[in-house]
Amino acid sequence: MKIPILVVFLILFMACDFPKDPENSYQQAESGHLLVGITINPPFTQKTEDSLFGKEVSFIKEFAEENKLKVEFMEGSESELIKKIEKFKLHLIIGGFDKKTHWKKKVGLSAPYDQKHVIIVPKGENKLLQKLETFIFNQKPKR
């Protein structure tokens, strides 16, 4: 008796745990803080003596609020932040990066939130990226 191929694919699909989140990034963000690297690049990210602001800072704060996450920003140079995200010491990096960034060989990129600019994420699929891209998709008509 042959099992239809569709049934086999259905069973295999149901056995998948999508999205994979080998570093538990979303769970870490839920139980602690969403760790966001930030490099200053006006108008996307700006800084005064005691606060961070800008288009992407506001975007991340909105995302965190919607997902009931606390945000912790860590300022640094692009190269410092890339090293940290490669070691999974950060969840996201913001700073006006576009989808053609030269860092794309070392990191993952979100979908563009405004046709051009992206949020840097660790390489690979994870639940945090899925949540971020869902947020981006739902925000597009407003932006």
Domains in the chain, number: 1
pLDDT single digits (tens) 121-133: 998 868 999 999 9
Give the pTM. 0.82
**Domain CATH code at residue 133:** 3.40.190.10
The Cα–Cα gap between 22 and 118 comes to 22
Angle (deg, nearest 10), helices 55-66 and 127-139: 110
pLDDT score of 60 more than 70: yes
At residue 25, does pLDDT exceed 70? yes
Across the chain, where does the E strand assignment appear? Answer: 34-38, 46-47, 52-53, 71-75, 92-94, 108-109, 120-121
Residue 33, token pair as written in the block: 């803080």
Domain residues for the domain of 123 are 5-142
